Amino acid sequence: MTPPTDGSADPQSRQVADEIAYLRSRQLQPVFRVMQNVLLWVLTIVSIALICTGQGMAWARGMSHADIRAAVASWSTPADYLHAVGSVNPAAMMMLGILCGIAMPFLRTMVVACGFLQQRNWLHVALSLLVIAIMLLGLWVK
């Protein structure tokens, strides 16, 4: 027997169908889930690789911890840091790896916020932006 097509379906089955449709609309879209997982793995691997490469280069060049600290202290502007990265400075490579590790939660939270924005789920967008703001405050408040 086929269900009626005039909208007079069983109220309980209609309620279940509506609830299923609501839950599906609230799921993070598969594209955003894939982006989030790719970001996690790529940034983790890049971060670890940069830190290990920088440390290996420092050991190969016979740099002490004091030499690395002095190199980091000598960067007074972002241009100095970018020049150090361009010249493949071991301290700069390690710092770049640390920056990738720090950037990971920000990027993942932004991807989630974009998914919620696409769903027009304003409460979760606001909560995601609040989390990002708290993370940013944690970087600058001493």
pTM over 0.75: no
- What number is the average pLDDT over the span 65-92? 90
| pLDDT higher than 70, residue 27 | no
Please give the backbone phi and psi of residue 75, each rounded to the nearest 5 degrees, phi first. Answer: -85, 110
If one compares 1 and 51, the residue with the highest pLDDT of the two is: 51
In sequence order, the 6+-apart residues with CB closer than 8 A to the CB of 25 are: 119
Measure the CA–CA gap between 14 and 8, rounded to whole angstroms. 9
- Give me the chain's average pLDDT, please: 85
